[in-house]
Amino acid sequence: MSIFNARWISEKSGCEAPVFRKKFTVRDIKSAVIDICGLGWFELYINGKPASENVFEPAVATYEQLNGKHTQYPIRDIFTNPRVYFCRYDITALLKDGENLLSAQLGNGWFNQTRVLNEGTFYIGVPRLAFSVRIETGKGKTLEIESGTDVKAGKSQIVENNVYYGEKHDLHLTDDFHDSCFSEKNFDCAVEAKRPDGELTLFDYPAEKVIRRIIPKYIGTVNGKKLYDLGENITGRLKFDTSYGGKIIIEHAEELNPDRTLDFYTVGCKYTPWRIQTFECIGDALPHKDVYAHFTWYGFRYFTVEGEIENLVCEVIHTDIKRTSDFKCGNEVLNGLYDIYIRTQLNNIHGCVPSDCPHRERFGYTGDGQITCETAMHVFDVREMYKKWMRDIIDCQDVNNGHVQHTAPFFGGGGGPSGWGGAVIVLPYQYYKFYGDDSLVKKYLPNMLHYLSYMESRCENAVVVREENGGWFTGDWAYIEEGNVDKNGVAYLTPQFVNTCYLIKFYDRLLDLDGLLKLGLKRAELKRKREAHASAVVEKYYDEATGDFCRGFLAANAYALDIGLGDERTLNRLVEKYDGAGGFDTGIFGTEILVRVLAERRYDDAVFKLLSSRKEKRSFGYMLDSGATTLWEYWDGKESHCHPMFGGCVKTLFTTFLGIRAASAGYRTVEISPCDIEALGDAEGYITTPRGKISVAIKRRGNRGAVTVELPDGVGGTFRFRGLEAPLEAGKKVFEF
């Protein structure tokens, strides 16, 4: 027997946070392992002790086919492979000779998400549980204990729980459900539940954990509520003790209004009814320790408390991803940009899914994810995380036409097609380039080609003209509209242009991969299609008189240059526009492309000016000067204040300013060519490649100084700076200038 054929069970009333208890007797224990899945999320205890430090398990997935469900955007796709993850724990040390207690508490998670329906009706069903314990005794016997209707089940102190809105506890109901002495008089036998449709799969990727703790700062009382500040925007939860007999209400927000009340707009309250992240307790005047929300995280910096609590602490929670880089220089905006990107990206990794924001939507948008993946690889150890997320992307790809969803795992969301669905090509490509690991490319190559065929089916006269009928068709996103739209509000940089340029880039990337990895692709056919799209872009959008594409609006010329179109005038017009602009007008795609195109052509001064600008409502400096501790969704600060999507250009801190560039996949060879910008001041940092740490330090003394480069074993390359070209090998080397 195993979890694959264990019986699924639920609590008979269908409550939102049931507790399950199973007692069993065993002796002479040699080893014990449990496979368990509690949907949406579960907490497992053995003899009153937690079986794991992980939280919000199992990780979210596309649980079942959603074809035919009501959604805001049309969903007609048949997903490749719906999936349900289960967890495996070694519980040998938690068992004892004699009677043992297995207990689990469940919450809704994404599986029973019934309250936020702006994207559609995606709830699957009430919480349910399956487990299988395998025990080996010292005498060579094997005992198996599995879930079934002999398990006792009942309600817990958690009256309500929702991923978006938070939790409500009734402390009158609190008892030690995980104690062997707990009375089960109000518990009944569990009832059999429907087995989930998705493929049951062991979760062996980085887990969700409490990463660190912050003591909140009390900053006063507003309207009778105690107001606290964490000093930074985080994702996590508050934990406290209380003996209060009344109601405790905690509300969370990213920002404050001028009167110091919480500003709920940026965390999702443009919706009706207002979506306020809340934790509520009904007290019973008895001592309660470690009261906290079990089945959601909150995205916030500020919070208010009504009622009496003590020993308050904030637990920062996200997927256990390690930072593997550092950057600092003489410019405070660039230093701040690195810091706020780090915090933003970590706040947006939950369940190994890179999300768009950690509060309002919480979805793994493929657009945001593909823009930031290269930067994330430079600054974090995300090798295993992206394996999981790539699986999410493929699981919900349409088996018939190759359409890739806007979110993965799929829970709705608008966008597309190229800037979002193109993640199916961008992620394996960047993964190979950074890690030198071709496993994603080779495993998912058929899916990548299937997506290309889908994009071809959305073209007319070699120009991409739509995605799904009745759905979104989006170009750049979150650009500054002033001066970039006509009198009807239509963007001069059209979705047709943006999506076709992206499609051409996808062909370039596949051709590049085929040349490097000998994938056996039909190169002539791919080149023919690529050139047909390129010719169509030139014919429709290029102005022969000026060298501009799309009249030079936004970063249209950068899009064209990125795929080898245009001429010297196109580049000059782009540089002329942005070198003196003092800030950005571009959206999430245009910003990354603009900075990269300028950096690749070594317009270092222009890149420095853009990234270090403090221009009002058009720069990262403006965000920082406005007190931002995480990246905003829009340059002017409207909407979410924790969106990583503009962080796609942060890799430039390393690739341009420090000059660390891979000369071959996986950093077998490198080129170190730092920029020569006096205003940058001293600069130093490192990235961690598959072969080890690569660090660069630039020290200046007027027009003189030194560049120190350190490479790990097995890595060599070339150093270039101020006309000097020298070979590099493993170890530390100092170049004076």
Task: Please list the alpha-helical segments (H only) found in 229-365.
Answer: 332-347
Task: Give pLDDT, residue 80.
Answer: 95
Highest mean pLDDT: which range of 64-78, 463-477, 560-574: 560-574
| Cα 4–chain centre separation | 30
- The SS3 call for residue 305 is strand
* Contact between residue 221 and residue 232 where contact means Cβ atoms under 8 Å apart: no
Instruction: For residue 61, give both structure tokens.
Output: 């997935």
Q: How confident is the model at residue 270 (pLDDT cuts 50, 70, 90)?
A: low
CA distance 403 to 695: 41
* Contact between residue 575 and residue 606 where contact means Cβ atoms under 8 Å apart: yes
Distances (CA, A) of 679 to 171, 354, 676: 58, 34, 9
Task: Give pLDDT, residue 483.
Answer: 82
The percent of the chain in helix, strand and coil, each rounded to the nearest 5, is: 25, 30, 40
**Residue of 499, 480, 500 whose CA lies nearest to 491:** 480
Task: Give pLDDT, residue 74.
Answer: 74
CA distance 303 to 598: 42
pTM: predicted TM-score of the whole model, two decimal places = 0.97
Q: How confident is the model at residue 114 (pLDDT cuts 50, 70, 90)?
A: confident
Model confidence at 273: pLDDT above 60:
no
* Contact between residue 300 and residue 230 where contact means Cβ atoms under 8 Å apart: yes
What is the residue type of 129? L
CA distance 391 to 405: 13
What DSSP letter does each residue of 64-112 carry, written as one string?
S--TTS-BSS-----BS--EEEEEEEE-GGG--SEEEEEEEEEE-TTTT
CA distance 664 to 662: 5
* Contact between residue 555 and residue 492 where contact means Cβ atoms under 8 Å apart: no
Which region holds residue 121: left if phi is over 0, alpha if psi is between -120 and 50, else beta?
A: beta
Beta strand residue intervals within 458-543, DSSP E: 459-460, 463-464
CA distance 387 to 513: 18
C-alpha dihedral sign at 27, 30, 34, 35: negative
Q: How high does pLDDT run on average in the chain?
A: 95
Q: Which of 117-126, 455-464, 648-657 has the lowest mean pLDDT?
A: 117-126
Task: Give pLDDT, residue 68.
Answer: 64
What DSSP letter does each residue of 711-730 carry, written as one string?
E-TT-EEEEEETTEEEEE-S
The pLDDT > 70 percentage for the chain reads 99
How many of the other CB atoms lie within 10 Å of CB of 172? 12
Q: How confident is the model at residue 184 (pLDDT cuts 50, 70, 90)?
A: very high
* Contact between residue 66 and residue 75 where contact means Cβ atoms under 8 Å apart: yes
Instruction: For residue 131, give both structure tokens.
Output: 């487990």
Task: Give pLDDT, residue 325.
Answer: 98
Residue for token digits 């403090």? 614
Q: List CB contacts of 110: < 8 A, sequence separation 6 or more.
A: 40, 60, 63, 122, 163, 409, 411
pLDDT digits (tens, 9 = 90+) for 665-690: 999 999 999 999 999 999 999 999 99
Task: Give pLDDT, residue 195.
Answer: 96
**Residue of 711, 705, 718 whose CA lies nearest to 677:** 705
**Residue of 3, 263, 295 whose CA lies nearest to 131:** 3
| Cα 82–chain centre separation | 20
Task: Give pLDDT, residue 522.
Answer: 97
Q: Tell me: cis bond preceding 299? Omega within 30 of 0 counts.
A: no
pLDDT digits (tens, 9 = 90+) for 549-558: 999 999 999 9
Model confidence at 185: pLDDT above 60:
yes
Beta strand residue intervals within 171-308, DSSP E: 188-189, 191-192, 199-202, 208-214, 217-222, 225-242, 247-253, 255-256, 262-263, 277-282, 288-292, 298-306
Model confidence at 438: pLDDT above 70:
yes
Q: What is the mean pLDDT of residues 15-31?
A: 97
Dihedral angle, C-alpha 411, 413, 418, 420, nearest 10 °: -60
Buried residues in 9-35 as b, exposed as e (16+ CB within 10 A): bbbeeebbbbbbbbeeebeebeebebb
The pLDDT > 90 percentage for the chain reads 91
Q: How confident is the model at residue 122 (pLDDT cuts 50, 70, 90)?
A: confident
Model confidence at 272: pLDDT above 60:
no
Model confidence at 225: pLDDT above 80:
yes
How many of the other CB atoms lie within 10 Å of CB of 710? 17
**Residue of 470, 420, 438, 399 whose CA lies nearest to 65:** 399
pLDDT digits (tens, 9 = 90+) for 591-632: 999 999 999 999 999 999 999 999 999 999 999 999 999 999
DSSP-derived secondary structure letter, 360? T
DSSP-derived secondary structure letter, 196? P
Q: Tell me: cis bond preceding 417? Omega within 30 of 0 counts.
A: yes
How many of the other CB atoms lie within 10 Å of CB of 70? 10
What is the residue type of 83? R
Model confidence at 416: pLDDT above 90:
no
The C-alpha R_g of the chain, in whole angstroms, comes to 27
pLDDT digits (tens, 9 = 90+) for 331-364: 999 999 999 999 999 999 999 999 999 999 999 9
Q: What is the mean pLDDT of residues 22-38?
A: 97
CA distance 669 to 654: 16
How many of the other CB atoms lie within 10 Å of CB of 585? 21
Task: Give pLDDT, residue 271.
Answer: 59
CA distance 560 to 594: 10
Model confidence at 71: pLDDT above 80:
no
DSSP element (H, E) containing 185? none
**Residue of 128, 126, 136, 83 whose CA lies nearest to 104:** 128
Instruction: For residue 172, give both structure tokens.
Output: 């009158």
pLDDT digits (tens, 9 = 90+) for 696-719: 999 999 889 999 999 999 999 999
CA distance 47 to 561: 64
